């Protein structure tokens, strides 16, 4: 049981780290949004899943409350994170930031 | 009549979220009387601004329960799998730095707001793609693709089976 | 207990990633870069708060994380709106 929790936490930490390093490594805004959004969302799913399982195993009022609230936080994170990154990408394109080394840019042709 | 329906539906949803947040707080079963009354008041007040915005285009088909079961199945099955693949993909690109980006356009033929939102969020969280803009009138998607294989793609090339799933769930 | 110590360690690692992202927040050449870094930091902080709430046995911290997630989402939308060309 404990090993399983540690495994989930480790996977979450690894993918969150991947997101943070993608932010440093990639060349322009859009590719950074790619890395940051995907990896932090996926990593947070595992981190919070560890908390949920821990709460349900602990049981009782306190553990149940912890699990349900963590699940709700995960739900909101899963909805808001891609939406926010989508808004940022659109704002960046409207602000005049072009993708570096793009082979095709249909949105610019439209505007 | 439809306005009242939208308002009541929003109120019920807010009430459910409130009840989930206040589980195990009282003596009346799981809740206390004060929490139930406060939640009802908050739900009725909160539904006033929400009702008109969320159900503007009449997406009432989303209330059918078999769509929710389908959505849960989609979330655990194909969506989670391709999300895992997306992260391996990002890891590969972080390490090797092989990118060939571009913004492509395609037409998935979705009409409702919920269907478009579902597809846009799915695209953002799955391998190599990121929704940049959605044309509100025609429903065309502008997608930033991290490794462009074809500048004039069909929807299946960019995001696999997701348009079919979005249509099945939301329309 | 030992399991809660694990949660504490994971939270510490995530705080380390917040500092890594802060590098992009300070260095980012354009404003959207900084906004993306801020968005990443927000997600990491939400996960950290949930883990810390578990490590210390305080459910209140998880509630704070929920409110923080929603407020940071609104802040992100606000910044994106600003980037699109002024607050109209």
Nearest Cβ partner for A103 among B83, B100, B132: B100
| Residue A74 located in a structural domain | yes
Average pLDDT over residues B102-112: 83
Clarify whether residues B49 and B75 are in a common domain: no
Clarify whether residues B85 and B50 are in a common domain: no
Residue A61, pLDDT > 90, answer: no
List pLDDT tens digits, range C31-71.
888 999 999 999 999 999 999 998 988 888 898 999 999 99
Instruction: Name the minimum distance, in Å, from the CA of B1 to any CA of chain A.
Output: 30
CA–CA distance, B50 with B13 (Å, rounded to integer): 11
List pLDDT tens digits, range C15-24.
999 999 998 8
What b/e string do you get for B83-101 counting C-beta neighbours within 10 Å, with b at 16 or more? beebbebbbebbeeeebeb
Q: What is residue B133's predicted lDDT score, i.e. its pLDDT?
A: 85
Residues in chain C with CB shorter than 8 Å from the CB of A53 are: none
**Residue of B166, C10, B76, B29 lying closest to A43 (CA atoms):** C10
Cβ–Cβ under 8 Å, residues C17 and A16: yes
Which chains have 3 or more CB–CB distances shorter than 8 Å to chain A?
B, C
Q: Is A55 on the interface with B (CB under 8 A)?
A: no
Clarify whether residues B95 and B40 are in a common domain: no
Average pLDDT over residues B72-93: 87
Give how many domains chain A has, as a whole number.
1
Average pLDDT over residues B77-92: 86
Does C24 sit within 8 Å of A32, measured CB to CB?
yes
Q: What is residue C64's predicted lDDT score, i.e. its pLDDT?
A: 92
Instruction: Name the minimum distance, in Å, from the CA of A6 to any CA of chain B.
Output: 19
Tokens of B113: 């707001």
Average pLDDT over residues A83-89: 90
Q: Which domain holds residue A12?
A: 2-93
Q: Which domain holds residue B21?
A: 2-56
What b/e string do you get for C22-38 counting C-beta neighbours within 10 Å, with b at 16 or more? eebbeebeebbbbbbbb
Q: What is residue C74's predicted lDDT score, i.e. its pLDDT?
A: 93
Residues in chain A with CB shorter than 8 Å from the CB of C21 are: 20, 23
Average pLDDT over residues A67-82: 89
| Residue A109 located in a structural domain | no
Strands B102-106, B129-134: pairing is unpaired
Does C69 sit within 8 Å of A66, measured CB to CB?
no
CA–CA distance, A2 with B64 (Å, rounded to integer): 40
Does B23 sit within 8 Å of A65, measured CB to CB?
yes
Q: What is residue C88's predicted lDDT score, i.e. its pLDDT?
A: 45
Q: Is C12 on the interface with A (CB under 8 A)?
A: no
- Average per-residue pLDDT in chain A? 86
Substitution target in A73, A82, A98 with the highest count of C β-carbons within 10 Å is A73
Residue B104: helix, strand or coil by DSSP? strand
List pLDDT tens digits, range B15-66.
888 888 887 776 666 778 888 898 899 999 988 888 777 776 656 677 778 8
Give how many domains chain B has, as a whole number.
2
Residue C87: pLDDT band (50, 70, 90) is very low
| Residue A53 located in a structural domain | yes
Q: Is A4 on the interface with B (CB under 8 A)?
A: no
| Residue A104 located in a structural domain | no
Average pLDDT over residues A35-42: 88
List pLDDT tens digits, range B144-158.
888 888 777 787 777
List pLDDT tens digits, range B1-11.
667 877 888 88
Clarify whether residues B25 and B95 are in a common domain: no
Clarify whether residues B164 and B132 are in a common domain: yes
| Residue A34 located in a structural domain | yes
For chain C, which residues make up each domain, given as ranges? Answer: 2-83
């Amino acid at each position: 049981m404990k090993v399983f929790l540690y495994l989930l936490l480790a996977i979450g930490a690894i993918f969150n780290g991947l997101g943070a390093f993608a932010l440093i490594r990639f060349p322009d805004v859009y590719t950074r949004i790619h890395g940051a959004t995907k990896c932090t969302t996926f990593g947070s799913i595992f981190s919070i899943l560890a908390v949920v399982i821990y709460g349900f195993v602990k049981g009782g009022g306190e553990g149940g409350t912890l699990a349900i609230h963590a699940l709700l936080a995960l739900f909101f994170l899963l909805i808001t994170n891609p939406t926010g990154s989508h808004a940022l990408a659109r704002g960046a394109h409207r602000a005049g930031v072009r993708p570096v080394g793009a082979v095709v840019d249909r949105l610019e042709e439209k505007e | 009549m439809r306005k009242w329906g939208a308002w009541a539906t929003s109120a019920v949803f807010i009430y459910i979220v409130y009840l989930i947040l206040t589980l195990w707080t009282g003596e009346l079963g799981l809740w206390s009387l004060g929490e139930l009354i406060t939640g009802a008041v908050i739900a009725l007040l909160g539904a006033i601004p929400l009702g008109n915005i969320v159900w503007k285009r009449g997406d009432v088909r989303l209330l059918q329960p078999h769509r929710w079961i389908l959505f849960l199945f989609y979330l655990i099955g194909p969506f989670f799998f391709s999300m895992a693949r997306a992260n391996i993909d990002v890891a590969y690109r972080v390490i090797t730095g092989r990118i060939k980006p571009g913004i492509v356009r395609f037409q998935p033929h979705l009409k409702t707001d919920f269907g478009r939102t579902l597809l846009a969020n799915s695209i953002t969280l799955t391998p190599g793609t990121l929704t940049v803009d959605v044309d509100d009138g025609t429903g065309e998607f502008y997608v930033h693709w991290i490794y462009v294989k074809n500048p004039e793609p069909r929807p299946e090339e960019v995001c696999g089976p997701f348009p079919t799933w979005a249509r099945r769930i939301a329309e | 207990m030992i399991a809660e110590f694990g949660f504490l360690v994971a939270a510490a690692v995530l705080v380390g990633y917040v500092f890594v992202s802060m590098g992009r927040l300070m260095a980012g050449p354009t404003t959207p870069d900084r906004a993306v870094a801020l968005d990443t930091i927000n997600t990491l902080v939400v996960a950290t708060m949930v883990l810390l709430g578990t490590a210390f046995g305080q459910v209140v911290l998880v509630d704070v994380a929920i409110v923080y997630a929603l407020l940071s989402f609104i802040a992100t939308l606000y910044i994106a709106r600003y980037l699109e060309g002024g607050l109209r």
